[in-house]
Amino acid sequence: MFCYNFNTACDRHGFVLGVHVSSGNVHDSVNFVPIFEQVKSKFPNMKAAVVDAGYVTPHIAKHCFDNDVIPVFPYKRPMTGKELFKKHEYVYDEYFDVYICPQDRILNFATIDRDGYRIYHSKPYQCKECPDLSRCTNSSNHQKVITRHIWSEHLEEANHLRHTSYNKKLYSLRSQTIERVFADLKEKHGMRYTHYRGKTKVRDEAMLAFACMNMKKIALWKWKIVA
């Protein structure tokens, strides 16, 4: 359908800090760097970036760490079928650069594809007689294939930090901050639908709406102080 994608950043108090508008067919992860750089340039002391599951990628994790920002990621459910082994059940041996399957068979490195994923293959003659073949792969040639991005260690570190009290506390604020921002934008400022066509016009409309929301929040804060 004809639509636009608003990528928005706010602080812990719900003040909108940056907006990036793209076409609706552009994935959120593609729009992360523009909005990140926009906020980082205004607030160079930014310490952490809290995102939802659509932004959980190796590239985003690496970009955050490279800029001394802690990525606060949610848990992302594995995309494999219920009856198959999950990827974490295959052990990665960093020293030998191989994967080890639940039956202690080796998946050797084969190549790197154009998207930056390292590809590991099992040996079909070993897998053919494996008792766990049906839980491992549905391929017709009885070969298990695992991919690992060249920046996977950054994503793994971000997932490790997910269990810290600092990250848990920050992520719990999403429902009170950015989710509230989008709810108010849709329900109180008529942005369930755009009134213009073209990214420039839609961005201008969004910027005005977010500016009004920030001013309303400032006015409310001042009223509370005076009262």
pLDDT digits (tens, 9 = 90+) for 189-202: 888 888 888 888 98
Sheet architecture: strand order including 117-121: 91-93, 98-100, 106-112, 117-121, 145-149
What pLDDT does 1 receive? 62
Average pLDDT, the chain: 91
Distance between CA atoms of residues 130 and 134, nearest Å: 9
Residue 50 bridge partners (DSSP): 72
Identify the bridge partners of residue 91 per DSSP, sorted by sequence position: 100
User: C-alpha distances in angstroms, 187 versus 4, 11, 144?
Assistant: 17, 21, 48
Whole-number pLDDT of residue 188: 87
Judged against a pLDDT cut of 70, whether residue 91 lies above it is answered with yes
| Pick from 91, 94, 96, 82: nearest CA to 146 | 91
User: Can you tell me the mean pLDDT for 73-78?
Assistant: 85
pLDDT band at 66 (very low <50, low <70, confident <90, very high): very high
Q: Residue 100 has which token pair?
A: 């080890």
Q: How far apart are CA 130 and CA 137, in angstroms?
A: 11
CA dist 38 and 13 (Å) reads: 18
pLDDT at 63 > cutoff 80: yes
Does residue 82 carry a pLDDT above 90? Answer: no
Hey, what are 135's tokens? 């839980």
Give the residue-averaged pLDDT of 69-89.
Answer: 86
Confidence of residue 227 (pLDDT cuts 50, 70, 90): low
| pLDDT at residue 67 in the model | 96
Q: Percentage of the chain with pLDDT > 90?
A: 68
The more confidently predicted of residues 129 and 1 is 129
Q: What percent of the chain has pLDDT over 70?
A: 99
Q: Report DSSP letters for 74-137, one per residue.
A: PP----S-TTSPPGGGSEEETTTTEEE-TTS-EEEEEEE-TTSEEEEE--HHHHTT-TTHHHH-
Domains, in order of start, for the chain: 4-75+162-226 (3.30.420), 87-150 (no CATH)
Identify the H or E element spanning 30: none
**Per-residue pLDDT, 50:** 95
What pLDDT does 90 receive? 94
Element (H, E) at 70: strand 70-72
pLDDT in tens, 150-194: 999 999 999 999 999 999 999 999 988 999 999 998 888 888 888
**Spatial CA neighbour of 206 closest among 218, 190, 217:** 190
Residue count of the chain, please give it: 227
Bridge partners, 5 (sequence order): 22
Alpha-carbon distances of 7 from 44, 52, 72, rounded to whole Å? 19, 11, 17
What pLDDT sits at residue 58?
Answer: 94
